[in-house]
Amino acid sequence: MQGLMQDVPLTITHLFGRAEQYFGHKEIVTATGSGVERTTFAEWARRTRRLGGVLDDLGISADGRVATFAWNTARHLELYFAAPCTGRVLHTLNIRLFPEQLTYIVNHADDEVIFADKSLLGLLAPLMPTFERLRHLVIMDDGKGEVPDGLGDGGVQIHDYEELLAAADGVDWPEITDEHQAASMCYTSGTTGNPKGVVYSHRSTYLHTMAAMMADGLGARESDVILPVVPMFHANAWGLAHAAVAAGASLIMPGPDLSGPAVAKLIVDEKVTVAAGVPTIWMAVLPELEGKDTSSLRTIPCGGSAVPKSLSEAYREQLGLPILQAWGMTETSPVASVCQLDGDQLELSIDEQADLRTQVGRISFGVDARVVDPTTMEAIPWDGESSGELQCRGNWIAADYYDDERSGESFTDDGWLKTGDVATVDERGRIRLVDRTKDLIKSGGEWISSVELENEIMAHPQVVEAAVIGVPHPKWGEAPLACVVRVPGEEPTEESILEFLDGKVAKWQLPKGVIWIDEVPKTSVGKFSKKTLRESHQNTLMQP
């Protein structure tokens, strides 16, 4: 027997239509190089429909790839919807990738047009001759930078965004009958080999948006004022750009200045309720919020890498609001779990709650997760101690990579995504990430979690950041080396770091060396680049 319910395709045009029909009065604020720009959802919707006309006027193919090379702005949000709502595919380019990686993904995706912020043209200009299929470059004036000479020497047509928009007519969106049709694509950060393309469908984006609006997820709602500091080119801005539009929440776009003072000023001036970004952002923002009115904030989602307990507790102590840790990756659209505490856990002591917040929480509704021995594929016990590889599946989880022969490395024979994260699960199904498989340290035959050591070291009052890597050791084969950034003006010693760790971790897990660095190198999405550190310090513990 079949149900007698209607079957309406789940498409991004529905998200757009809600904002256009019900929330035209709500505001989108963009911080630019020349000041703050304000618009409404009504005006944004009119411009987005005209942008659909621009794509037609430029002759972009029916399912052509529309690339963006841009900061978080209202214009970027116009592109977020105009491309998929016209049946085309949005392709967000990560502005922090290496040049050869950008060339690879523009050509691999067959991008026909790039919409670029003027302040970023200096990065893009040298690469223009390497783009094989690109026919158009559209420049968006974000208040900074100059237009380099020779941009169109390779035959690419150069346009001004506002001029194109002024000359175009608004369009009605074509009916998208296949909800599995591609809507957007984003490439992984490519720490090893070329980046891999993840293609999101209208259906997956719609469902992920609903998950971001759930109370036990990110809880986006109409009354919110959302500041996505996480870039729109980084895994869909964690779904907040779509969720804000669908919910009718006001949006605060930070533009190019992601410094601590700039982000803090937006939070205070615009009375932000939800501010999302990676840990390094919140490290810089916290001191700028001291003594300021942050009463509007209700949640601070944080992800991209493990949130140090010391950082979350610092926010709780200063703002009365601990950081909300979430987990996901490009392949999971990206939100796959959010660390909301259970009701009875709110009755625990402050220290016990702080320990629980270092988890990534229970897997999100709509996603399945398992933690298995990667060799035998047998499930590990839910005891909070046994560890294995975290794998997941669901309606907004990638099933394959775009035109890539390496897909078999990342997916199991029965269709689960291998996340590359090592995790434990407690008796309630709450997940704690132990490490990335490639960052685990095997010392004297025993495994050591680099993440656990980092979290403990970063609680030291004289430490800003710390990354722990495994390097060759003459006795133990491999041993942990702590790479530590001091608080300016402070002079901690190796002995003081090791004494601080005494009793917090087993003695055999203690770093066999501590070195001082000016800054922990970061990947293109703001994670610690331990690969860079390993390459630089391979022989540190081998020296007499």
Query: From its phi and psi, is residue 495 left (phi > 0), alpha (psi between -120 and 50) or beta?
Result: alpha
Task: Give dist(CA 392, CA 441) in Å, integer.
Answer: 24
Task: Give dist(CA 64, CA 6) in Å, integer.
Answer: 31
How many alpha carbons fall within 13 Å on the CB side of residue 153? 10
Task: Give dist(CA 462, CA 468) in Å, integer.
Answer: 17
11 is catalytic: no
**C-alpha closest to that of 89 among 58, 67, 59, 115:** 67
331 is catalytic: yes
Q: Which of 317, 447, 499, 519 is catalytic?
A: 447
Is residue 407 within a helix (H) or strand (E), and if so which, with residue range? helix 407-410
248 touches 280 (CB < 8 A):
no
Residue with tokens 């009701």: 343
78 is catalytic: no
Q: Could you count the other beta carbons within 10 Å of the beta carbon of residue 146?
A: 9
How far the first Cα of the chain sits from its last, in Å, is: 76
Q: Show the tokens assigned to 362.
A: 């229970």
Complete DSSP assignment for 141-209: --S-----TTTTTTS-EEEEHHHHHHHPPP-PPPP---TTSEEEEEE---SSSS--EEEEEHHHHHHHH
How many alpha carbons fall within 13 Å on the CB side of residue 28? 27
239 Cβ neighbours under 8 A, 6+ residues apart: 208, 209, 211, 212, 218, 333, 334, 335
Task: Give dist(CA 100, CA 130) in Å, integer.
Answer: 9
Residue with tokens 């380019």: 93
Q: Show the tokens assigned to 536.
A: 């630089």
66 touches 115 (CB < 8 A):
yes
Which long-range contacts (C-beta less than 8 Å, at least 24 apart) are formed by 352-356? 353/322, 354/309, 354/312, 354/313, 354/316, 354/322, 355/309, 356/430
φ/ψ of 424, rounded to 5, equals -115, 160
Q: Which of 20, 112, 331, 478 is catalytic?
A: 331
- The answer to whether the peptide bond before residue 334 is cis (omega within 30 degrees of 0) is yes
- Partner residues linked to 430 by β-bridges: 362
Q: Which of 163, 442, 508, 535 is catalytic?
A: 442
321 touches 296 (CB < 8 A):
no
Task: Give dist(CA 318, CA 35) in Å, integer.
Answer: 29
442 is catalytic: yes
Active site amino acids: 188, 331, 442, 447
